[in-house]
Amino acid sequence: MKTKILCETPDFLVCEKPAGLAVQAGPGYQADMVSELKNDLCKKTGGRSPYLGVVHRLDQPVEGLLVFARTEVAAADLSRQLADGRLAKRYLAVLEGIPAQKQGTLTDYLKKDGKNRCAHVTEAGESGAKRAELSYRVLAEQGTRALVEIRIGTGRFHQIRVQMAHRGWPIAGDGKYGAKSQTPGSIALCACSLTFYDTAGRQQREFSAYPHHPAFGDFPEILKR
């Protein structure tokens, strides 16, 4: 199984997704996290079909942390936490380009192009446009690249990738959005931290993951902190 399970309870699973693996496959055969996890749970429960609720997603070339619900009650609770910000995610990314402002908030309106599986920045009043907001902080610089920490205020399709590329800072390896470097199946974007409150005990749970994309290797000291 490509998916790594970091924590398993009766209410949820916290997993680390490798780059290149889809969270949930579309039509046709393709390996995906949901199928892997359901097969694993089925073996553990003696063949009974398990419930597995998808609370949030990551793009296929993105690596990092996800939480899945194991009951409908947990799914509803985690979805509420995602909506009100109690389920918080922190990302690390390596950008091709260095922002002039070392930290800031980016607000755009994005429109999804379903035919070409991409999105672009557009005007607020355009049909299908959705508001997208994120905050970033530059952690380190190396040559023409920057290591940044990102937190999203909205969860739009390809949001981080589009908003960064729109300003001339595409994510390393992301040829789809203009990066000069291309890494088959992966980009230098990792959901490295996940925080939420468990359904049973109402205790805050925190999880972290280390990014594996080779571009992060240019920033070894900052990543070890």
Residue 28 DSSP one-character state: S
Tokens 């035919």, located at residue: 115
Tokens 């260095």, located at residue: 98
Contact at 8 Å (CB) between 78 and 55? yes
Residue 59 falls in the annotated catalytic set: yes
Q: Which residues contact 99 (CB under 8 A, 6 or more apart)?
A: 136, 138, 146, 148, 167, 169
125: helix, coil or strand?
coil
Q: Which of 11, 59, 108, 174 is catalytic?
A: 59
Query: What residues are annotated to the active site?
Result: 59
